[in-house]
Structure 1
Amino acid sequence: MQLVEPRPQRPIPIRITPLIDVVFILLVFFMLTSRLLPVDYLELANNTSASRQVAGNPLPLLTVTADGRIQWQGKALTVHQLTSELAGSGITEANLATVPNATLGAFTRTLSALTESGIEVHWQRPAGTSP
């Protein structure tokens, strides 16, 4: 007397439908729990009040224009001209702003050049804009 049936000769096929269901459930779970950030904004720390006192001269305002030049004291300068003038004036800290149609590339080039020349830069967001 045989208590267990013998194994069939052909292999039992793996049912893929439940596996696909599990994959879709995992996909939905990770899509709902992940945090998506906008890619067109550059997040920078902008806490100038904690790092310096209010007394003294205000920080110079540098504005990046649409053509990549930087306006300072009514003059439009290139990045290299600006860094040499700031170093000559003994300025080690400045606020950096942009006009609305300035490119992100011009902003990052200016920010990098000023940081590399030893100037501490604070990004100033224009009034009325939100991320």
Structure 2
Amino acid sequence: MQLVDPRPSRPIPIRITPLIDVVFILLVFFMLTTRLLPLDYLELANETSQRSSTEGDPLPELRVAANGTIRWQDNDYGLSELLPTLKAQGLTKVNLATTPETSLAHFTRTLSALDNAGIEPHWKRTDAPDS
């Protein structure tokens, strides 16, 4: 007398539908819980490792404000006023910084204008303020 039916000789097929459901649930979970990088930051390559930090004079620092004006030597300039002033001073490299409230549009506009004018901007990314 046999109490349990013997296993069939052919392999039992694996049902794919529940596996696909689990994969989609995991996908939705990770899409909803993943924190994406903020769009306010632009990753730039800044090759400063090739030169010593003790050589020469420090680069002048330009700070882009939230309204788009640029502060240099305790004066505020518009972009159209600043470029000829920098060229007249004979500057070819500057450090570019922003205030925490500065929009990405003002930063990229200033960065592009400096680059197009033949002035090499260096930008160091700083930590964002706690929100």
Q: TM-score of the superposition, structure 1-length normalised?
A: 0.68
Amino acid of the structure 2 residue aligned with 1:66? A
In structure 1, the gaps of 5 or more residues are 1-17
Give the Cα–Cα distance (whole angstroms) in 1 for the partners of residues 55 and 77 of structure 2.
29
Aligned to 2:61: 61
* Structure 2 counterpart of 1:107, one-letter code: F
Moved segments of 4+, more than 2 Å: 18-29, 45-48, 51-54
Match for residue 14 of structure 1? Answer: none
Residues in 1 aligned to 2:120 and 2:50: alpha-carbon distance in whole angstroms: 11
Q: How many residues align?
A: 109
Indicate the residue corresponding to 1:101 in structure 2.
101
Counterparts of 2:82 and 2:17 in 1: how far apart (Å)?
60
Question: Aligned pair in 2 of structure 1 residues 92, 26: CA closer, same or farther (>3 Å)?
Answer: same
1:1-131 counterparts in 2 under 5 A?
20-21=17-18, 23-24=20-21, 27=24, 28=26, 37-40=36-39, 41-48=41-48, 50-53=49-52, 54-126=54-126, 129=127
Q: 2:6 corresponds to which residue?
A: none
Aligned residue type for 2:85: E
Taking the aligned partners of 1:93 and 1:24, their CA distance within structure 2 comes to 56
The percentage of aligned residue pairs carrying the same residue is 42
The CA deviation at 1:74 is 0.9
CA gap 1:130/1:103 in 2 versus in 1, 3 angstroms: closer
* TM-superposition CA deviations, 1:39-97 (whole Å, max 9, x none): 4222122342x243321110000000111010001110111211111111111111000
Residue identity matched to 1:45: A
Amino acid at match of 1:77: Y
Secondary structure of the corresponding residue to residue 71 of structure 2: strand
RMSD of the alignment, in Å? 2.7
Query: 2:100·2:128 contact (CA, 8 Å) conserved in 1?
Result: no
C-alpha separation between the residues in 1 aligned to 2:123 and 2:79? 16
For structure 2, the 5+ residue unaligned runs are 1-14
Tell me the TM-score normalised to structure 2 length: 0.68
